[in-house]
Every structure is written in structure tokens, then in C-alpha cells.
Amino acid sequence: MYQMLRPLPAEEERFARLLETLRCPRCQGTFSFERHRQKQPGLGIFGVLRCACSERPVLDAIPVLVDKPLVARTHWSGEAETRGRGAAELCAMIRDGRGFEALLDAITVPIVAPHRLRRLLPLPDSIWESEPLLRFGGWLRQRQLLSRLKKPRDAQSARDWLNLFYGRGSPLSGALYNYFFHRFTQPRYLAALSLFTLLPPSDKPVLDIATGFGHFAHHLQNGEVPHPVIGLDFNFFPMWAARRVMVPKASFVVADATEGLPFPDGAFSGVTCSDAFHFMAEKTRVLEECDRCVDNGPVIFTRVGNAQVLPPDGPVELSPGSYRALFAGKTLRMFGELDLVKSYLRHLGPDLSHDARPDELAFDKYLSIVVFPDGELPPRPSFERWPHCVGVLGINPLYAARPRADGGLDLSLGDMPSKWFALQNAAALMYLPQRTTITRADLDAMKSGQMTPALGALIDRFVVIGMPSGYATPRADRPSRSGPSNVHEESPVSAA
Ligand SMILES: C[S@@+](CC[C@H](N)C(=O)[O-])C[C@H]1O[C@@H](n2cnc3c(N)ncnc32)[C@H](O)[C@@H]1O
């Protein structure tokens, strides 16, 4: 029995609501859904969606609406990095009761020889990347996955899954592990949280385009103003993990945002898209589709690369002037990242009173662009409770901890996880203290969901933050391998 794949609470209702909102990206028709029982017992929702023009698989409650095979794709160009199956083959497998096999393949990122081994054994790339070795790497990964899937959700963390997809021995390894694992207090993250205060309260969902591992879905879904979320991405495996370990209440869809959005007009109260718009070649199409699918709310593109500042972030970045031209005729505001971070630190949403000219943003590597489809600028929002304490309180995993004699912890920022991470997130030094301590009493308060003035002060400095339950360590108790200095332990109760 694969405990990790047991249906999630309220999964049926959520999937029914998602189906109502879904349209074929090609013919815009509605779908009917044939559910299929799978040979593997105890699985969630598997089946086939049908519209006038096509059939699409649903794997573990995630509709797959891409025409290309279901593979791992690079974030910036969409190139395939693994092998995968096409929609017709996946539908046939699901009809045949082999949905578990199809799912396993969709989340298999084969194990490849790490660079260190390649340096020690200098064989030609054609051997390291040969078919038999790749197949062996896929087989090894599936052994790993099978043992993981047998464990209950509570016994594994989001970090475990990030490690599997982006850690050593994965063809996707590189900066992505640090990028995702240490996402919550990056300057760009706080910039986005400031912008997201513009989203109006509504029963309609927010569409999070290029949702990745679901970090923002967690914030949107569980924030002070909770928004139902539909996450969309062309990569299946991060969304599958997002649904299973980050935001079980959100819905997810595999689709390519540049090929038309699979939703009807006015379906959303707002659209968010972080760290991805500049990777998309067909920006006008994406923009038109966002406009069509949003019902008066804002369309927020955050962390959009500026081609005028090197190094380039992908091949199709534009300059601030060209982004302006692309959005011509729309009511919009453009921001540099640092201004938004400063707004966040002052408990404020973005300042909409100033319409920044492209030359004012010439030296900002990362921009944010907010479009107001109804032409109205709302008043500047503010917030009482920090958005970064949404979820379960724990110590920011960027901090290393040493136990103190009194049972508290000495915390130090120390080295950043990598030089690239340090460069990209240098502005975090503006608000993260190098060293601090937490007393035993405050640790106990954090674990039992109590608030104390000292804990509040640590939240103010981003040393204590909110995370999805079981983000850095599993929710279920397990003996700590690193002894009492295992600070990634989290409080089981929501932050006050
Ligand atoms: C750098 S990650 C950002 C993830 C997430 N938005 C965040 O900020 O944490 C970029 C994401 O964009 C997705 N992506 C890139 N181009 C896309 C496209 N055309 N359609 C859907 N997803 C896309 C990638 O798969 C990846 O998950």
C-alpha cells in the first residue's frame, strides 16, 4: 500500500470544482470526466478528460493538458530534460488500470552520475549519458521512489522531496534546490508578498501561473485573506509534490501558459506569476489570456528579468521600455524589486501613486508589473499580521543552530548556501540578523503555538517564519540524527 498516495481530505469536492473551471486549451470546450479504477488499491483520482477535440489524462487529481510528452522541462526554455509519455499513452495506461505506473514515470527524474564521479572517472559524455546508464539511473530512482511512496505523508518533509528532484545525482541539480528550499525569506519573495496584498477577497480562485513547488500557493491559500488557488505549470513533478506536501488544499493543472489558458473568461479574482514571465517567448499571448481569464482583479507578474542588466536570465528577457510597449494601452504599474521589499518591511503593499518610467528602472535587474484590467487603481494596501508567518512557525532554515546551556539555541546566518545564492539574495542582509538567540521558553512557546514578545521580535527579523506543516522536517516524530541542534523542527500549531 502506497500511503503517500492516499486520497487527501476533501479531494473529491476540490476536483469537482476544478473540473467546472477547466476548459480545453485548444477548443475551449468543457470536459467530461471518465474515472478509472486502478490496479493499485487506495489511490486518489485517476481518469481521462474528454472534450470535442481531445482526450487528456488525470494523474493523481492533476489534469495534464499539454500536447507534448510529460517530461521534466527546463524553466527558461521548456526543453525536455527527461523522457516521458504522451497524452494518448497515458490515457491508455489509466484505462488499463496502470495509473500508478504512469504516475511513477511522471515523477521519475533518473539518477545520473554526479560531477565529482565524472571528474574522477573521465569517461566521454556519450558513455555517461548512454541509454543503458540512463535506464539504470531511472530504475535506481524508481526503487527510491517506491520506498518513499510507502511512507505516510507525515513521515517525510517537503525538503526530502526537493532533495530527490533537485539534489545531488539528479539531472536537474544545481541552484534549484537552494532556490526552492530557501524560498520563503528571499527578497524577491517578500517583494511578491507585498504585491499580493493587491488581490481582492473573493470566492473565485487566484490563478498562480508557473507555480513551481507551490510556495506562493501556500501563502495565497492560507493567508490573512485566504484565496482558493489553482496552480499551473508545465512541469508535473513539482506540482505533484506541492499538492502532496505543501498545499493539499490547492488544485493544480499541467499546462503551458504560452499555449492558451485552460479556463473560461472571468474565472479568477486575480492572476499571479512569479519568476517565469521573462522566460516565456509568447508574452503578448500570455497577457491576453490573463486578461481574458481574470474578473476585474489584478494580473501580477513579479520577478521579471530586465535584459538591460547582465547576466541575462534566459534568452527572451526584455528591457523595461519593451515591457511597457508590450503592455501598451493598459493601466499598469512597474516596480523595482528593492522598492517592493522596502514596502513589505513597512507592512505595506506597493505604492501605486508613482508610475515609474522605464529609465527609472534601467538598473533594476528584476521588475514587477501589475496590470489592472478594469483600469482602476486600488488604494495602497497595508497589513497587520506579517504574511511570512503564515503556516506553522519554525526557525528559518537559513540559520545554523548551536544548543545553549539553558536549553535555548544560538542561531547564526553563517555562510549562505552557495555563492550564487548569496549574490542573488544579498539584499536579505538588510533584514536578516547575522546572529541571535532563542530561549528555551520561546522555543517551547513556538512549538505549542503560543506567542511571546521575544518570538514576535524574531518573526519581525525573519528568524522565525511560517512554513507549510512538515516543510523542513517531517511532521511525524522521528529521532533527530543531528541531536538537539536540529533546528528545522517546527511547531505543530499555526502561528498566532
Ligand atoms: C523559477 S520557477 C518559479 C516557481 C514559482 N513561481 C516561484 O516563484 O517559486 C519557474 C517556473 O516556471 C515554470 N514555467 C516556465 N515556463 C512556463 C510555461 N510556459 N508554462 C507553464 N510553466 C512554465 C517552470 O516549470 C518553473 O516551475
Q: Are residues 104 and 13 in the same domain?
A: yes
- Closest atom of ligand 1 to 238 CA is 27
Confidence of residue 486 (pLDDT cuts 50, 70, 90): very low
Within a domain: 230:
yes
Give the length of the chain: 496
Q: Are residues 366 and 395 in the same domain?
A: no
Whole-number percent of the chain with pLDDT over 90:
78
CA distance 132 to 128: 9
Distance of CA 135 from the midpoint of ligand 1 (Å):
27
Confidence of residue 495 (pLDDT cuts 50, 70, 90): very low
Q: Which of 5, 43, 19 is nearest to 251 (CA)?
A: 19
- Closest atom of ligand 1 to 273 CA is 6
Within a domain: 12:
yes
Q: Are residues 200 and 99 in the same domain?
A: no
Within a domain: 131:
yes
Q: Which residues form ligand 1's pocket by a CB distance below 6 Å?
A: 73, 75, 78, 183, 210-212, 215-216, 233-235, 238, 256-258, 274-276, 279-280
User: Among 73, 109, 275, which residue has the most ligand 1 atoms within 8 Å of its CB, making it the best to mutate?
Assistant: 275
The answer to whether the Cα torsion of 377, 382, 383, 386 is positive or negative is: positive
In the prediction, which pLDDT does 175 show? 81
Query: What is the overall mean pLDDT for the chain?
Result: 91
In the prediction, which pLDDT does 496 show? 26
Q: CATH number for the domain including 236?
A: 3.40.50.150
User: Among 184, 233, 303, which residue has the most ligand 1 atoms within 8 Å of its CB, making it the best to mutate?
Assistant: 233
Which of 108, 128, 162 finishes a domain?
162
Looking at residues 205-231, what average pLDDT do you find?
97
- Residue 478 in this model has a pLDDT that exceeds 60: no
Tell me the one-letter amino acid at 338: L
Looking at residues 403-416, what average pLDDT do you find?
92
C-alpha cell at 435: 546572529
**Who has greater pLDDT, 10 or 415?**
10
pLDDT in tens, 292-303: 999 989 999 999
Distance of CA 210 from the midpoint of ligand 1 (Å):
3
Range of the domain at 446: 391-494
Looking at residues 193-220, what average pLDDT do you find?
97
C-alpha angle 490-493-496 in degrees, rounded to nearest 5? 110
Confidence of residue 161 (pLDDT cuts 50, 70, 90): very high
Looking at residues 421-449, what average pLDDT do you find?
94
What φ, ψ does residue 219 adopt, rounded to 5°?
A: -70, -45
Q: Are residues 408 and 462 in the same domain?
A: yes
- Residue 477 in this model has a pLDDT that exceeds 50: no
Distance of CA 255 from the midpoint of ligand 1 (Å):
11
pLDDT in tens, 307-327: 999 999 888 999 999 999 999
Within a domain: 222:
yes
As to burial, measured by CB atoms within 10 angstroms (0-12 exposed, 13-18 middle, 19+ buried), residue 30 is: middle
pLDDT in tens, 332-378: 999 999 999 999 999 999 999 999 999 999 999 999 999 998 889 99
pLDDT in tens, 29-56: 999 999 999 999 999 999 999 999 999 9
How many domains, in total, are found in the chain?
3
- Closest atom of ligand 1 to 256 CA is 20
Within a domain: 174:
no
Q: Are residues 363 and 398 in the same domain?
A: no
In the prediction, which pLDDT does 375 show? 87
What SS3 string covers the chain?
A: CCHHHCCCCCHHHHHHHHHHHCCCCCCCCCCEEEECCCCCCCCCCCEEEECCCCEEEEECCEEECCCCCECCECCCCCCECCCCECHHHHHHHHHCCCHHHHHHHHCCCCCCCCHHHHHHCCCCHHHHCCHHHHHHHHHHHHHHHHHHHHCCHHHCCHHHHHHHHHCCCCCCCCCHHHHHHCCCCCHHHHHHHHHHCCCCCCCCCEEEECCCCCHHHHHHHHCCCCCCEEEEECCHHHHHHHHHHHCCCCEEEECCHHHCCCCCCCCECEEEEECCHHHCCCHHHHHHHHHHHECCCCEEEEEEEECCCCCCCCCCCECHHHHHHHCCCCCEEEEEHHHHHHHHHCCECCCCCCCCCHHHHCCCCEEEEEECCCCCCCCCCECCCCHHHCCEEEECCCCEEEECCCCCEEEECCCCCCHHHHHHCHHHHHCCCCEEEECHHHHHHHHCCCCCHHHHHHHHCCCEEEECCCCCCCCCCCCCCCHHHCCCCEEEEECC
pLDDT in tens, 79-136: 877 788 999 999 999 999 999 999 999 998 888 776 677 777 777 777 767 878 888 8
Longest C-alpha distance within the chain, in Å?
69
pLDDT in tens, 256-285: 999 999 999 999 999 999 999 999 999 999
Closest C-alpha to ligand 1, atom 13: 210
Within a domain: 178:
no
Q: Are residues 356 and 438 in the same domain?
A: no
**Who has greater pLDDT, 195 or 475?**
195
- Closest atom of ligand 1 to 189 CA is 8
Reported pTM: 0.93
Confidence of residue 476 (pLDDT cuts 50, 70, 90): low
Within a domain: 457:
yes
Within a domain: 172:
no
CA distance 54 to 22: 14
Q: Are residues 225 and 139 in the same domain?
A: no
Q: Are residues 306 and 428 in the same domain?
A: no
